[in-house]
Amino acid sequence: MTFSPSRLAPFAVVLSLLACGQDSGPPMPTGLTVIPGDGSATLSWDENTAYNYTIFSAQATEITRSNYESFPNAKVTWPVTSPYVLTGLTNEKPYAFLINARDGSGPAGDSTASVTTTPHMRGSNWANGVTINAASDFRGITYGQGRYVAVGSNGALYSCTYNGLATASSTGCPNGAAWTAETLPTATSSSPASTNDLNSVAYNSYTGQFVAVGAAGTILRGIYSSTTKTITWTSAYYSSSSSTLPTLYSVAAVGTGFVAVGASGTVITGATTSSSSTYDTLSWTVQTSPTTKDLYSVAYLNSTYIVLGAGGTLLTAGSIGSWSTQTTGVTTDLYGIAYGTTGTAATATYLVVGSSGTLLRSTGLTSWTPVTGLKTGSADLRSIAFGSQFVIAGAGQNIMSCDAANSTNGTANCDPSAGANWTLAYSGGTATLNKVLYGGGTYVAVGSTGSNMIAIDK
């Protein structure tokens, strides 16, 4: 939870506990490091799980616990665990951070000295990571609880912790270590086989849950333990006496729940039925769909559900069930969508990617214009993400970024409607990159035969 000082009046009592008791609270945290990301910073420290930790930050070269709020963009963030990614920072501006600890509702202990870093744009330089598992094609990746989780064919489910480091000499998981196979739930007569293909995974930051979906209606739910630093996976396979779900291709977090889409126009929602902090129950419901075409991607952007699918299908809805079919002007399959503000005119733009080099642009979801002249030609574009700029991944291990080579002052000055403005940030490999993610302060892509790549510092 993050607050600016101007909004903290109702929390004065809590803040007094955070800010006082320099000798009576827990000892000063040790090992604080801060690594810059794209519009973010990753903080790591020697964590004691018996304590709660608080981050104080501001746009400055140095702060103390008593003066941080006198600087621009001052924030207090709690409770946090290590590593923690603080987002919403301005690239090329210095930020200072410090932390302290407290035991339950008791007073805070001494704070650390401040550590300073400067976030900067990523996306124009890429490196290959350590192969996840060459026997599987990876199709989805998400970030949550300080780790990436990737899923793929043959029940592949892997994770890795990430400390924010991203250099050419420190790539892999994606920062040099090996990916770790997660323990799949045991298959039973009422839950899916552990070898079912997994196509997508999402993390809900509000409830702290992961959900992965795949073939034959597979739904897996992961709960992270801050004590053991592990994820426990259970099967949430949907079936009834009258039907079994077809393959699910995509899942996204919405509010305290999830929405997934799949073959034959399938739309299914997972809602929490517990008001407790554990959100220990997810109830899945098949929703009415306006199409029978295969649906490959779902996103929730600007309070709108957006679904993409076969033959140029694009559906939008303000609420599940109130679907509008948008005219895209193409018959190619559509695989991914992203939204961001970029260009010298600071235009808010939706971009959609698809097969045969399809790239569509819209400012309002109802009118779509093709972007032509891309350097990737007719190669499939499988996924798109936005952090500080748009990044596209696809066949031929192609990665494109919008004017990354010419961006200045940490801001993407690209007009994405012109194909000539798109730069090939990486090309020439044999893998198909199926999913690119902005998470953990950088971009990460996964693909066929266990391939994965990370955007690194210049």
Give me Rg for the CA atoms of the chain. Answer: 22
Percent of the chain with pLDDT over 90: 56
pLDDT at 55: 97
Domain boundaries for CATH 2.60.40.10 within the chain: 2-117
* Phi and psi at residue 449, to the nearest 5°: 50, 40
Higher-pLDDT residue of 428 and 156 is 156
pLDDT at 280: 62
Rounded Cα distance, 249 and 201, in Å? 10
Give 221-245 pLDDT, tens digit per residue. 999 887 888 899 988 765 554 567 8
Average pLDDT over residues 376-390: 91
Question: Is CATH 3.30.930.10 what the domain over 126-455 is classified as, yes or no?
Answer: no
Query: pTM for the whole thing?
Result: 0.87
Give 282-309 pLDDT, tens digit per residue. 888 899 999 999 999 999 999 999 999 9
Question: What 3 state SS string does the chain have?
Answer: CEECHHHCHHHHHHHHHHHCCCCCCCCCCCCCEEEECCCEEEEECCCCCCCEEEEEEECCCCCCCCCHHHCCCCEEEEEECCCEEEECCCCCCCEEEEEEEECCCCCECCCCCCEEECCCCCCCCEEECCCCCCCCCEEEEEEECCEEEEEEHHHEEEEEECCCCCECCECCCCCCCCCEECCCCCCCCCCCCCCCCEEEEEEECCCCEEEEEEHHHCEEEEEEECCCCEEEEEECCCECCCCECCCEEEEEEECCEEEEEEHHHCEEEEEECCCCCCCCCEEEEEECCCCCCCEEEEEEECCEEEEEEHHHCEEEECCCCCEEECCCCCCCCEEEEEEEEECCCCEEEEEEEEHHHCEEEECCCCCCEECCCCCCCCCCEEEEEECCCEEEEEHHHCEEEECHHHCECCECCCCCCCHHHEEEEECCCCCCEEEEEEECCEEEEEEHHHCEEEECCC
Domain covering 2-117 in this structure, CATH number: 2.60.40.10
Mean of all residue pLDDT scores within the chain = 86
Given a cut of 80, is residue 406 above it in pLDDT? Answer: no
Tokens encoding 116: 């300073």
pLDDT at 375: 85
Given a cut of 90, is residue 99 above it in pLDDT? Answer: yes
Contact criterion met (CB below 8 Å) for 11 and 18? no
Residue 420's pLDDT band, with cuts at 50, 70 and 90, is: confident
Rounded Cα distance, 84 and 139, in Å? 26
Closest of 285, 249, 255 to residue 270, by C-alpha: 285
Domain boundaries for CATH 2.130.10.10 within the chain: 126-455
Rounded Cα distance, 8 and 75, in Å? 10
Given a cut of 80, is residue 195 above it in pLDDT? Answer: no
Give 102-151 pLDDT, tens digit per residue. 998 889 999 999 999 999 888 888 888 888 999 999 999 999 988 899 99
Rounded Cα distance, 28 and 52, in Å? 12
Of 193-207, 362-376, 411-425, minimum mean pLDDT range: 411-425
